[in-house]
């Protein structure tokens, strides 16, 4: 009898423990049953959008008796808070991170792209759409010598400084995986990869769950705010879909209405950001938007399918306005409809130039204090931890206070600015290391790298001020974007100064879009359709053609006179074979640009 009571008590405790440790969110993980040592691991996927969560592709060694001393892991992390960044990270014995944030000229959450990891005894390299983006060598790479499984997962980390804050109203999140392939490392005798040093072994197109090759995970860990459940790994329409949900509405189902995140006015347009992708029909129906006292002339859905640009007339920037939206539908089946929402329209900030920001520190004199970027803010850092060195004497400057604070391990710094040309000065000081080679970083400003391997100690010594002047930065979308990448240790910045470029008569010179432009097609790679955007600063006769890799013209998309403005054209390549194609834009017979496009079937 006592044994029976004891057994029942154990069952109760087990049940209660399960209730206690069950988490509010449900994620998913898909992993190979086999393990691999070295090779080329490749994936085509569309990451999940939204702060507070990440969708991944990685390899991982399951730990044995030595615990974290066996740690071997190679990561591609898509943090949903970023729309122009990918995190690469080899994690080595002792669970040592060597992360690098890579700027990309596309939104990983808006379309499918191909990513790869090459792992050899001598190097690890990461690839984006077939081009090498980052490489690491050294002792930490040679320590990656244990067999690893291929894995993909979606989960909400507990670390908001890394991934941002999860908005539960934005659930569910979905990441879409089209295919995964593996090639073994066979130096000197392969058929794919760098130097043909890898031999293709297999590819899974995710038409269904291959139970011989893959398993669905059912675990969690400290720092993961979700449990992995098999129901959140779904196969549909030739894709493997990983889902992050609440505990009730699990699986590939969406019952949540889209909502507006913010609305911003600039230059007779209002940019409206929605929480998820919406239908083009509802996005571009002018009657779905109301601004009292203002005429809405046109609604144009942007390429990420989450943003809509309203062309408006009659806004007075000295007044306050609300945008009312109704009838917006998401892409779920059946669609969820936003029946009505009103939010204030943010007006452009009015700055006193030169604009000075004490990054990592407080406001003083004519310097603004640092802050975290938000949808309602006008400037701030994304990611990062502030550091302080009060009273530290700084050489080569009279602005010691600025260099005594810093923001380190940040990924981006953003400032809302009117469209125009600016002189930007970035301010740095090395307050940790007293030898060169200990900190190396790269910095990208508005899509251009201004430094690829900055060593602050080598440039200015310890506690020495160092500035990088960028003489002409064109801000075209109303936000100055500065992106930081860690090459060794952590990137940092201490201060920022911004001034509009002056004309000869002393007035600030606004930037006017003056260049013809052919944008990157979206999505790319694609199957079977893609959208090609182009801009005309003046009227002209437009020819937009598609050619194959042998120079043969495949189709004429546009052959017509056009007025100035933004345009897009659709190409449906259903009748064409997989491969590399080229899109060519001519205006009045002059070649403007050519773009590569990859059709993958």
| pLDDT in the model for residue 21 | 53
Q: Which residue reads 């990270």 in tokens?
A: 89
If you average pLDDT over every residue of the chain, what do you get? Answer: 92
Give SS3 for 20. helix
d(CA 313, CA 560): 29
**Cβ–Cβ < 8 Å for 78, 47:** yes
**Burial class of residue 515, CB neighbours in 10 A (0-12, 13-18, 19+):** exposed
The class level of CATH for 18-246 reads mainly beta
Phi, psi at residue 193, to the nearest 5°?
A: 80, -175
pLDDT-derived band at 46 (thresholds 50, 70, 90) equals very high
Select from 351, 328, 350, 323 the least CA-distant residue to 339. 328
**Cβ–Cβ < 8 Å for 7, 119:** no
pLDDT-derived band at 485 (thresholds 50, 70, 90) equals very high
Residues 83-140 pLDDT 10s: 999 999 999 999 999 999 999 999 999 999 999 999 999 999 999 999 999 999 999 9
Cβ neighbours for 477, distance < 8 A, ≥ 6 positions apart: 419
Domain boundaries, the chain: 18-246, 260-344, 355-500, 517-599
The class level of CATH for 260-344 reads mainly beta
Catalytic, out of 29, 42, 77, 118: 77
| pLDDT in the model for residue 303 | 86
Residue 277 Cα to chain centre, angstroms:
16
Residues 182-237 pLDDT 10s: 999 999 999 999 999 999 999 999 999 999 999 999 999 999 999 999 999 999 99
**118 flagged as catalytic:** no
d(CA 217, CA 68): 20
Q: Does domain 355-500 have CATH number 3.20.20.70?
A: no
- What DSSP designation does 70 have? G
Check whether 146 has a pLDDT greater than 60: yes
Q: Which residue reads 């295919």 in tokens?
A: 179
User: What is the average per-residue pLDDT within 315-324?
Assistant: 95
Residues 522-550 pLDDT 10s: 888 889 999 998 988 887 889 999 998 88
**Burial class of residue 251, CB neighbours in 10 A (0-12, 13-18, 19+):** middle
Instruction: Report the CATH number of the 517-599 domain.
Output: 2.60.40.1930
Same fold yes or no, 18-246 and 260-344:
no
Q: How many helices (H) and strands (E) does the chain have?
A: 6, 44
- Quote the tokens at residue 129: 């759409």
Catalytic, out of 29, 73, 118, 442: 73
Select from 238, 250, 252 the least CA-distant residue to 331. 252
What is the phi-psi region of residue 514: left when phi exceeds 0, alpha when psi lies from -120 to 50, beta otherwise? alpha
| pLDDT in the model for residue 514 | 52
**317 flagged as catalytic:** no
User: What is the average per-residue pLDDT within 470-477?
Assistant: 89
- Quote the tokens at residue 301: 């859905």
Residues 72-94 pLDDT 10s: 999 999 999 999 999 999 999 99
């Amino acid at each position: 009898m006592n044994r029976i009571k004891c057994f029942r008590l154990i069952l109760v405790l087990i049940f209660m423990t399960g209730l206690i440790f069950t988490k509010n969110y449900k994620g998913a993980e898909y992993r190979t049953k086999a393990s691999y040592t070295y090779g080329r691991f490749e994936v085509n996927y569309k990451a999940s959008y939204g702060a507070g969560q990440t969708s991944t592709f990685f390899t991982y060694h399951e730990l044995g008796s030595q615990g974290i001393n066996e740690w071997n892991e190679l990561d591609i992390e898509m943090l949903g808070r970023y729309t122009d960044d990918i995190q690469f990270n080899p994690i080595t014995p002792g669970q040592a991170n060597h992360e690098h944030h890579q700027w990309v000229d596309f939104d990983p959450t808006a379309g499918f792209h191909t990513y790869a990891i090459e792992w050899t005894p001598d190097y690890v390299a990461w690839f984006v759409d077939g081009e090498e983006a980052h490489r690491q060598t050294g002792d930490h790479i040679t320590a990656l010598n244990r067999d690893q499984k291929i894995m993909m997962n979606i989960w909400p980390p507990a670390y908001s400084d890394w991934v941002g804050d999860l908005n539960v109203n934005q659930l569910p999140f979905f990441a879409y995986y089209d295919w995964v392939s593996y090639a073994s490392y066979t130096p000197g005798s392969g058929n794919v990869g760098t130097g043909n040093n890898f031999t293709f072994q297999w590819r899974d197109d995710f038409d269904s769950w291959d139970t011989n090759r893959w398993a669905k995970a059912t675990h969690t860990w400290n720092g993961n705010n979700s449990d992995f459940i098999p129901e959140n790994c779904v196969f549909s329409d030739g894709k493997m879909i990983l889902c992050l949900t609440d505990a009730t509405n699990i699986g590939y189902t969406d019952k949540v209405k889209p909502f507006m995140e913010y609305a911003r006015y600039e230059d007779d347009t209002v940019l409206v950001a929605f929480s998820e992708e919406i239908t083009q029909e509802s996005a571009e129906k002018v009657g779905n938007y109301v601004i009292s006292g203002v005429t809405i002339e046109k609604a144009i859905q942007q390429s990420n399918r989450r943003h809509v640009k309203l062309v408006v007339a009659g806004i007075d920037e000295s007044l306050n306005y609300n945008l009312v939206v109704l009838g917006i539908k998401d892409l779920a089946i059946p669609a969820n409809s936003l029946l009505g929402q009103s939010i204030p329209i943010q007006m452009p900030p009015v700055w006193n130039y030169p604009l000075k920001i004490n990054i990592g520190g407080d406001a003083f004199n004519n310097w603004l204090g640092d802050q975290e970027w938000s949808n309602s803010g006008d400037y701030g850092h994304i990611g990062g931890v502030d550091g302080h060195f009060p009273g530290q004497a700084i050489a080569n400057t009279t602005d010691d206070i600025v260099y005594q604070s810093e923001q380190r391990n940040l990924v981006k710094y953003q400032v809302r600015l009117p469209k125009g040309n600016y002189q930007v000065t970035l301010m740095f000081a090395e307050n940790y290391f007293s030898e060169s080679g200990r900190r190396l970083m790269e910095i990208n400003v508005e899509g251009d790298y201004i430094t690829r391997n900055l060593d602050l100690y080598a440039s200015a010594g310890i506690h020495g001020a160092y500035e990088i002047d960028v003489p002409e930065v064109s801000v075209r979308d109303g936000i100055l974007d500065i992106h930081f990448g860690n090459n060794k240790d952590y990137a940092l910045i201490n201060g920022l100064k911004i001034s509009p470029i002056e004309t000869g008569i002393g007035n600030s010179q606004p930037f006017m879009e003056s260049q013809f432009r052919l944008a990157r097609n979206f999505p790319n790679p694609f199957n079977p359709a893609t959208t090609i955007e182009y801009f005309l600063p003046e009227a002209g006769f437009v020819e937009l053609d598609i050619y194959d890799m042998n120079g043969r013209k495949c189709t004429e998309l546009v052959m017509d006179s056009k007025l100035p403005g933004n345009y897009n054209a659709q190409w449906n390549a259903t009748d064409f074979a997989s491969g590399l194609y080229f899109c060519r834009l001519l205006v009045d017979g002059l070649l403007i640009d050519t773009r590569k496009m990859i059709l993958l079937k």
